[in-house]
Structure formats: structure tokens, C-alpha cells
Amino acid sequence: MLTLRSSSFVTAGPTAAFAAVVAATGLAAGCDSAVEMKLVPTGDEVDTSCVTAVELTLTGRRVEEETYYCKELSPGDVRSLRDHGLEGLFDVALPPFDIIGIQLRGVSAAQGCVENRAVGPTIFVASSDEIDDSIDLAMRGVLSCADRVDTPTPVRVVDFMSLVADGSCLPVEGLEAQPGQLFPTMLYNSYSGYQWWFYFWAPPSTTPATGLLEMPYTFSSSSAGSCVGLYSADGDACLTPPGRGACGAETELQYIDYYTVRDASLSIEDQLAHYNVVFGLVVDRQRRPIPGATITTTAPGAVVQFTRPAGAGFQRVDAASTTASGTFTVLADRPALIEVTAPGHATRRVMAGGTSATVVVMETGAPM
């Protein structure tokens, strides 16, 4: 059995690998094995009052080895991260495969659980790729229910490479995209090196000729290491908040044909080493590239490269700051908060996440 306990619960027993084998072959012989999950809250508190479903995901070594469980709750049942009241919510049989990743999500799911899945904004997540007979799941906030904005939100989708080429705001027509969020998780870390994932809130919509699509709702902010974003077949990306984009007052997505640009820009070694790659551009309010901008990050394992346009992609240059093109690349394993500084401009902090592009518009005045 796999059971959810409180963070103070301690147990002893067989290793997870042995327990998984027993579940597949030994339970019929009367063996009784258990893996205990312990939620360990970390980081800042968030408002959890809108959580209406909790989804448990278990992954194995093969793509097809994945199973889901879901339990419905009433709003307010999860009082906080540190007073969650979730002990005993799951008590399920171990799957017939070796578990290499576990994730628990608290979801604001309008339809509750549908086929053991919860669709909606993830308010908190707990995950681990270290599997033993007693598993500590670090539990952290992703979004806060108090930050939900229940009004339709326009998103302007513009072509990143056109901004790089001449500063033009070319709308992207015909892009099918889904709103959702990116956040760190260890669910797939042992399988593929991913340390983040994207979950949808709503069905896809297609951008018209204006490049404007509409999210049914949004959140005014996200917890550290997370972001509100859009997913498409060409990549997933953090959204630029309203008023901070390059081409208008709306929330903005700088679209890039990610896989084409990645293959034209990065070595095979870099592609294998970093799954989260964001191509960036630093400009002023007139969309002119800013040379001499420095980009730093404290995200574990993240690498910042300064570049120049070359063919269908970008070429790395040996420099300590942006060149005349204003371009750079962030390679990481999870969404990374970057800090951008440039002479005569205020410092900007931007979440670079997914497989995407971002335009950093520098302002005068206080840091943003």
C-alpha cells in the first residue's frame, strides 16, 4: 500500500524497489508491504481555500508506466500548507512497476476529479524522485487562491524573431495554445531530466490575425520558481505580465518556433544537458536592443549565454554582457528567475521558463 501520512509520521520497512516488486508478485502470496508518504511544507504560505481536488501521480521507468489517483474536497478543507488536513487521504495499492517519481497536486478544479485527473490551476505541489519506504514530499505553493482574477484576460502573441530582426511587433496568427502554468516538480526527474512541468487550465484556442487570444481567468502573481504560461506544440512559455511587454499593454507571449531555433543554436550536448531553454532579448521602450546588459540567476544549474543572431538561430559569443543585438540564452532544468541590469536603466527581474523566448523591456526608475 502507498499511504499519505502527516509530516511527523515515521515508519520502517522494505525499500520502495522491494515494495514495488512485492506489490506486483508478492501480495497474492499474502505479503503486506507499504510505502509511506510524508508532506513536508516549505517556503511561503499561500491561500489554499479554493482547492477542490488533490491528484496523486506515480511514474515508473517506462513512458506507459504512469498511474493517477484523485480525491475531491470542499473549498476550505485545505486550510494552509502547514495545516492541510490531508493525512490519510490516499491509501492505495502499489502499482505493478518500480516507482521513480511521485507528485501530489492541490488543484482548484471546477469539475473536481474526472477519470482520476484534476483539471485547473495548481495551488500547491509536493513531489520527490527519491523513493524509499518513507518518502518526504516537499510541499510548496505554486499559486495563491487570493490572487485569482476572474475576468477574461487578453494575451498578445508576437513573433520573437521579428522583434530581434528589426523591433517590429508582428502578430502571430493561427497558433493553437492552452493557458496554464509552469512549476518545478521532481516527478519526471529520474526519467528524463525534467524538473518542471506544464498543466492546463482550459481548452486550446487559436490566435486570430490580430494575435490576441483570451484566457478565461488568470492570477496576478505566482510563487517563486513558477509562472502563468501558455502551451503550444512549438513550446511552453511564461507570460510577460501586462504593461511589461514590448508591443502593448496586454499580457504578452513572445512566440518562437522553438525546436527550429534550438537546433540551429545549441549543440547536441547543450540540448541533452538542459531541457529548459529560453532565448532572450533586452530592449528599451522603443524596442531598440540594449548592449552591455548583464544577466544573472541563482537558479541551480542554470547557465546564461550571450549571443548574436546567426541564420535561423543564435550563435554564442564570448562576452560578459549583451552585444549590439541585445540577445542571450538561459539554459536550465526548471523555470529560472533572472536579473537583468544595464547602464542607465533600472534592474528587471523576469521568470524565464519552459522552451520559449522572452523579451526584457528595460525602464528607468525603481527596480521591477
- Asked whether the CA dihedral 368, 294, 315, 352 is positive or negative, the reply is negative
Residues 6+ apart with CB under 8 A from 305: 316, 328, 329, 330, 331
367, part of any domain: no
Exposed/middle/buried for residue 156 (C-beta within 10 Å: 0-12, 13-18, 19+): buried
Domains of the chain: total:
2
Structural domain range at position 11: 2-142
Answer whether 121's CB lies under 8 Å from 201's CB: yes
Residue 295 has pLDDT above 50, yes or no: yes
For residues 212 and 114, membership in a common domain is answered with no
- Within this chain, do residues 137 and 172 fall inside the same structural domain, yes or no? no
Confidence category of residue 17, pLDDT binned at 50, 70, 90: very low
CA distances from 357 to 24, 126, 214, 342 (A): 44, 28, 20, 20
> Of 116, 142, 168, which closes a domain?
142
Q: How far apart are CA 44 and CA 47, in angstroms?
A: 10
C-alpha neighbours within 13 Å on the C-beta side of residue 41: 17
Residues 102 and 209 in one domain: no
pTM: 0.85
Using the 3D structure, point to which of 142, 166, 195 is the last residue of a domain: 142
- Please check whether residues 135 and 220 belong to one and the same domain: no
Q: Which of 75-84, 198-207, 213-222, 278-287 has the lowest mean pLDDT?
A: 198-207
3-state secondary structure (DSSP) of residue 269: helix
Radius of gyration of the chain (CA): 22
Whether 244 has a pLDDT exceeding 70, the answer reads yes
Q: In this structure, are strands 134-141 and 35-41 parallel, antiparallel, or unpaired?
A: parallel
Are residues 357 and 225 located together in one domain of the fold?
yes
Question: What is the spatial distance between Cα 66 and Cα 42, in angstroms, rounded to a whole number?
Answer: 26
CA distances, 300 to each of 48, 141, 237, 266, 311 (Å): 28, 19, 19, 20, 31
Mean pLDDT computed over 212-236: 91
Query: In this model, does residue 32 exceed pLDDT 60?
Result: no
Q: What is the mean pLDDT of residues 220-243?
A: 90
- Compute the distance between CA of residue 157 and CA of residue 178 in angstroms, rounded to an integer: 13
CA 83 vs CA 7, 76, 86: distances in Å: 11, 11, 9
For residues 36 and 19, state if they share a domain.
Answer: yes
Q: Do 181 and 289 fall within a single domain?
A: yes
C-alpha cell belonging to residue 123: 495551488
**What is the per-residue pLDDT for 197?**
77
Are both 19 and 75 inside the same structural domain?
A: yes
Q: Alpha helix (H) ranges present in the chain?
A: 16-21, 160-166, 189-192, 258-265, 268-273
Verify that 121 and 13 share a domain, yes or no: yes
pLDDT at 193: 59
Query: Which of 248, 157, 236 lies closest to 201, judged by CA?
Result: 236
Out of 142, 165, 193, a domain closes at: 142
Claim to verify: residue 196 and residue 67 sit in the same structural domain:
no
pLDDT (tens digit, 9 = 90+) per residue, 304-342? Answer: 999 999 999 999 999 999 999 999 999 988 888 999 999
Within 10 angstroms of residue 220's Cβ, the number of other Cβ atoms is: 13
Nearest-angstrom CA–CA distance, 360 and 353: 13
